[in-house]
A = this chain, B = another copy of it.
Amino acid sequence: MTPTVAPLAEELAQQLGAERVLTAPEDLAVYAYDGTAALRQNPACVVFPLTTHEVAACVQIARRHRAPIVTRGSGTGLSGGSVPMEGALVVCLNRMDRIIELDPRNLTIEVEAGVVTQTIDEAAGKHGLFYPPDPGSRKISTIGGNVAENSGGLRGLKYGVTRDYVMGLEAVLASGEIVWLGNKCVKDVAGYNLRDLFIGSEGTLGIVTRVLLKLVPQPQSRMTMLASFASLEAAGDTVSDIIAAKIIPCTLEFLDQQTIRCVEDFTQVGLPTEAAAVLIMETDGHPLVVAEEAAAMAAIASARGAISVRTAADDVEANKLLTARRSAFSALARVRPTTILEDVTVPRSELAGMVAFIAASAAKHGLQIGTFGHMGDGNLHPTFLTDERNADEMHRVELSLGEIVDRTLAVGGTITGEHGVGLAKKPYLRQQLGDHSYQLLKLVKRALDPEGLLNPGKIFE
């Protein structure tokens, strides 16, 4: 232990017991990174509080020692939001994993921050209810991380993102005080909406310890389809036509050829590896409406020249398709040593142009980019398959990345649709927001965390 670390860890051990404080380098290494490639830094120590009051006590201790605090769950984040900085205290909330209350009369569930996302939907399902947000990592991601990053998923088009389901949250502030923001009322305008300020604030304004979530009735039925196309344009135009026809399906996922091939190699679910692109389309709800919408979407895809449109015969086949899509990032990550995943999002009208732009940028710079994403949301994940040891190639990656960001912002898009700013996107934030908005964000940060204790160095340069 370095001399600066020892007193911090010692005090934390007095508070929580030594078994819930990690300080050995080999233990710390596990908490040095999240799901973001190439970012890594050992913290000073890691603690596992079991209650909100323990979290508050840890914050008070860290504050006295002027140790920066990084909150984390399972570490599946894709922007470096939970990567520690030197001397940091990592507050890991995974052991705060209790479901506090499922209230079927008010359609709510209250959970601790460490509850795994999928567990929430499973608990809801037992009451015929549904928690729609489904980030790719839902089997291991925690709700606290989902709230911190305002995570999206495959059902955003119809159901929205994490924010749309958070009715209330409990947070520990930088001062160590505990606040509850929100309640079980479906309408509430008593005072500023700080709940929504905390959602997506990436652990920089407070530590979210409990969350009250809205549930919705489980859809009665669903239908899942796979459409394959000979060109990127045909897939993009199909998405535009579906929206123009005023159909709001729950899922409209896109995979380009590079991604299709990697995923098929990885999962063998029978994706058409010769197609330039596929769309995975799902509609859910009343059986009659589902049948009508599915038929309409199939007709639109065919009219746009789809090579084939296949409907999943049952839930098993539907889940296979969705699991294939969820594995896109992992599948692409197997190809080359370094994988850089982007998260650009554009107004839907700009989608087809953006997909073509990315493909052209890859060709121009001689790069391998696999693009997939939530096409109905305008949210694309162009994924650079590269090698960080190759300086020339990395230079070309930088050029291409810069072009993609510039184009995204030029068409009114955002640098991140669902992954957050963290460390990965912070060089671009000021460019997107402009000086006045950027400074306004900083004003809020300073007001709530004047000592810069919470996740310093994230979001802002």
Residues of A within 8 A of B (CB): 103-107, 128, 149-150, 152, 156-157, 161, 163, 173, 177-181, 183-194, 196-197, 199-201, 205, 216-218, 240, 243-244, 246, 248, 286, 288-289, 292, 345-349, 374, 377-379, 412-421, 425, 429, 432-434, 436-438, 440-441, 443-448, 459
Assess whether B286 is in contact with A185, with CB atoms less than 8 Å apart.
no
Assess whether A179 is in contact with B440, with CB atoms less than 8 Å apart.
yes
Decide yes or no: A192 and B185 within 8 Å by CB, A286-B289, A288-B288 being known contacts: no
Bound complex: CA A179 to CA B179 (Å): 29
Assess whether B443 is in contact with A448, with CB atoms less than 8 Å apart.
yes
Query: Nearest Cβ distance between residue A207 and chain B, in whole angstroms?
Result: 14
Assess whether A436 is in contact with B188, with CB atoms less than 8 Å apart.
no
Bound complex: CA A186 to CA B196 (Å): 16
Assess whether A437 is in contact with B246, with CB atoms less than 8 Å apart.
no
In the complex, which of the residues A191, A414, A432 has the most CB atoms of chain B within 10 Å of its own CB atom? A191
User: What is the chain B residue whose CB lies nearest that of A343?
Assistant: B189
Bound complex: CA A128 to CA B181 (Å): 37
User: What is the chain B residue whose CB lies nearest that of A244?
Assistant: B105
Bound complex: CA A192 to CA B193 (Å): 13
Q: When the two chains form the complex, which single residue of B348, B440, B448 contacts A440, counting CB atoms closer than 8 Å?
A: B448
Assess whether A190 is in contact with B433, with CB atoms less than 8 Å apart.
yes
Q: How many copies does the complex hold?
A: 2
Q: When the two chains form the complex, which single residue of B173, B348, B349, B421 contacts A191, counting CB atoms closer than 8 Å?
A: B421
A434 partner residues in chain B, CB cutoff 8 A: 179-180
Assess whether B189 is in contact with A193, with CB atoms less than 8 Å apart.
no
List, sorted by A's number, 9 A–B pairs whose CB atoms are closer than 8 Å.
A128-B246, A149-B189, A150-B189, A156-B186, A186-B379, A187-B377, A189-B420, A193-B197, A194-B437
A178 partner residues in chain B, CB cutoff 8 A: 436
Decide yes or no: A190 and B421 within 8 Å by CB, A181-B437, A183-B412 being known contacts: yes
A418 partner residues in chain B, CB cutoff 8 A: 187, 189
In the complex, which of the residues A156, A189, A443, A447 has the most CB atoms of chain B within 10 Å of its own CB atom? A189
Assess whether B105 is in contact with A378, with CB atoms less than 8 Å apart.
no
Q: When the two chains form the complex, which single residue of B163, B436, B444, B446 contacts A192, counting CB atoms closer than 8 Å?
A: B444
Assess whether B217 is in contact with A345, with CB atoms less than 8 Å apart.
no
A417 partner residues in chain B, CB cutoff 8 A: 185, 187-189
Assess whether A186 is in contact with B240, with CB atoms less than 8 Å apart.
no
A104 partner residues in chain B, CB cutoff 8 A: 244
A347 partner residues in chain B, CB cutoff 8 A: 106, 183-185
Assess whether B429 is in contact with A191, with CB atoms less than 8 Å apart.
yes
Bound complex: CA A248 to CA B219 (Å): 12
A446 partner residues in chain B, CB cutoff 8 A: 447
Bound complex: CA A378 to CA B289 (Å): 29
User: What is the chain B residue whose CB lies nearest that of A103?
Assistant: B349
Assess whether A199 is in contact with B193, with CB atoms less than 8 Å apart.
yes
Bound complex: CA A161 to CA B459 (Å): 30
Bound complex: CA A105 to CA B443 (Å): 36
